[in-house]
Structure 1
Amino acid sequence: MRARAKTRAAGGVLTDVLTLMLLPVPLLVATAPAAFAGGGTRRWFGGRAESLRADAQAAKDAAAAAFYELDTAQRDLRISIETITAVDGSPPARKAAGDFTALGQRIDEASHGYIEAVDAHDLERDDLEASAASTARDELTAAKDALNRVKSDLDRFAQGLGPLLDKAETQLARLAPAVERARAGLLAASNALDEVRGAGLRADDLAARLAALGPELTKLNQGAGQHGVPETIRRAEQVLHAADAVRAEAARLPERAREIDRRLVSLRTRAQALTTRAGSVDPVLSELRRRFSAACWQDLQQVPEQAASSVRQAEEKLEQAGKAREEQRWADATSRLSTARALLNDTDEAVSAAGDRLRRLNAVAKDPQQEIDRTRFALRDAQRLAMAGRHTPEPRHARPLDDSVARLDRAVAALEGRHPDYWQFLTETEAVRNTAARVVSDIREERGTGG
Structure 2
Amino acid sequence: MSNDWTGRSAQPRRPGRQGPPPSPLALAHEARGALQEQFYRVDQFQSDIGGTVKLYAELLPERAGRTGVVPGWATLDAKATELIVAYLEALDRFDPLEECTPAQVIDATHLFGQLAPKLGLLGNDMEGFLERFGPELRRVGEVRHQVETRLGAAAAKVQEAEAAWLRMTNDGFQFEVADQAIARARIAGRKLAAAGSLLTPDKATEGAEVVEKLASEALALATDLPRRAATLRNRIPSLATRIDALETRAGSVPEAMRALRREFSTPNWDDLARRETDVAELLADARSRVARLRQLHEAGDLTAALVALDELETRLDEAGTVVDGPRERLALLRALRDDPQHRYDTTRFQLRDARYLIMNGKTVASQPWAGRLDRAAAELIALEGLLEGHHHPDYWDLHVRLDALNQQIRTLIDDYRAAH
What's the offset of the Cα at 1:105? 1.6
Matched letter for residue 143 of structure 1: F
Secondary structure at the residue paired with 2:236?
helix
Structure 2 gaps, min length 5: 1-17, 62-69
What's the offset of the Cα at 1:211? 9.0
Say if 2:109 is the partner of 1:109. no
Partner of 1:273: 245
Distance 1:428 1:324, change over 3 A: same
Secondary structure at the residue paired with 1:411?
coil
Q: 1:105-129: per-residue Cα shift (whole Å, max 9, x none)?
A: 211134356768874449xxxxxxx
What's the offset of the Cα at 1:401? 2.7
Task: Find the aligned partners of 1:189 and 1:289 in 2 and give their Cα distance.
Answer: 59
1:371 to 333, 340, 343: 340
Say if 2:280 is the partner of 1:308. yes
What's the offset of the Cα at 1:348? 1.4
Aligned residues: 359
Say if 2:66 is the partner of 1:66. no
| C-alpha RMSD of matched pairs (Å) | 6.0
Distance 1:310 1:109, change over 3 A: same
Task: Find the aligned partners of 1:97 and 1:320 in 2 and give their Cα distance.
Answer: 74
Partner of 1:428: 398
Partner of 2:384: 408
Matched letter for residue 105 of structure 1: V
What's the offset of the Cα at 1:276? 2.0
What's the offset of the Cα at 1:69? 1.0
Q: 1:342-364: per-residue Cα shift (whole Å, max 9, x none)?
A: 22112212222211222234445
Task: Find the aligned partners of 1:209 and 1:447 in 2 and give their Cα distance.
Answer: 39
Secondary structure at the residue paired with 1:304?
coil
What's the offset of the Cα at 1:371? 1.9
Contact 1:196 1:203 in 2 (8 A): no
Task: Find the aligned partners of 2:196 and 2:351 in 1 and give their Cα distance.
Answer: 67
What's the offset of the Cα at 1:66? 0.5
Task: Find the aligned partners of 1:72 and 1:430 in 2 and give their Cα distance.
Answer: 84
Task: Find the aligned partners of 1:56 and 1:304 in 2 and give their Cα distance.
Answer: 115
Alignment of 1:150-165 (within 5 A): 150-153=119-122, 156=125
Task: Find the aligned partners of 1:239 and 1:295 in 2 and give their Cα distance.
Answer: 52
Contact 1:264 1:318 in 2 (8 A): yes
Distance 1:257 1:299, change over 3 A: closer
Partner of 1:335: 307
Larger Rg: 1
Given the two structures, how large is their TM-score scaled by the length of structure 2? 0.58
Task: Find the aligned partners of 2:217 and 2:376 in 1 and give their Cα distance.
Answer: 53
Alignment of 1:37-56 (within 5 A): 53=21
Matched letter for residue 404 of structure 1: L
Distance 1:261 1:379, change over 3 A: same
Task: Find the aligned partners of 2:217 and 2:374 in 1 and give their Cα distance.
Answer: 56
Provide the identity percentage. Answer: 19
Alignment of 1:32-431 (within 5 A): 53=21, 59-60=27-28, 62-70=30-38, 72-73=40-41, 76=44, 102-112=82-92, 119-121=100-102, 140=109, 143-153=112-122, 156=125, 199-203=171-175, 254-364=226-336, 368=338, 370-376=339-345, 378-379=347-348, 382=351, 386=355, 389=361, 397-398=373-374, 401-402=377-378, 404-414=380-390, 417=391, 420-421=392-393, 424-425=394-395, 427-428=397-398, 431=401
Task: Find the aligned partners of 1:211 and 1:253 in 2 and give their Cα distance.
Answer: 17
Secondary structure at the residue paired with 2:21?
helix
What's the offset of the Cα at 1:88? 11
Partner of 1:34: none
Contact 1:411 1:429 in 2 (8 A): no
Distance 1:326 1:67, change over 3 A: farther
Greater relative CO (CA pairs within 8 A, separation 6+): 2
What's the offset of the Cα at 1:204? 5.9
Contact 2:164 2:222 in 1 (8 A): no
Contact 2:165 2:219 in 1 (8 A): yes
Distance 1:240 1:311, change over 3 A: same
Matched letter for residue 343 of structure 1: R
What's the offset of the Cα at 1:270? 1.7
Matched letter for residue 401 of structure 2: A
Secondary structure at the residue paired with 2:112?
helix
Contact 1:103 1:154 in 2 (8 A): no
Distance 1:70 1:262, change over 3 A: farther
Distance 1:246 1:113, change over 3 A: same
Task: Find the aligned partners of 1:242 and 1:229 in 2 and give their Cα distance.
Answer: 22
What's the offset of the Cα at 1:273? 1.7
Secondary structure at the residue paired with 1:275?
helix
Task: Find the aligned partners of 1:192 and 1:399 in 2 and give their Cα distance.
Answer: 53
Distance 1:156 1:382, change over 3 A: same
What's the offset of the Cα at 1:383? 6.0
Task: Find the aligned partners of 2:396 and 2:184 in 1 and give their Cα distance.
Answer: 60
Distance 1:444 1:144, change over 3 A: closer
Contact 2:42 2:119 in 1 (8 A): no
Distance 1:286 1:200, change over 3 A: same
Contact 2:383 2:398 in 1 (8 A): yes
Distance 1:89 1:244, change over 3 A: farther
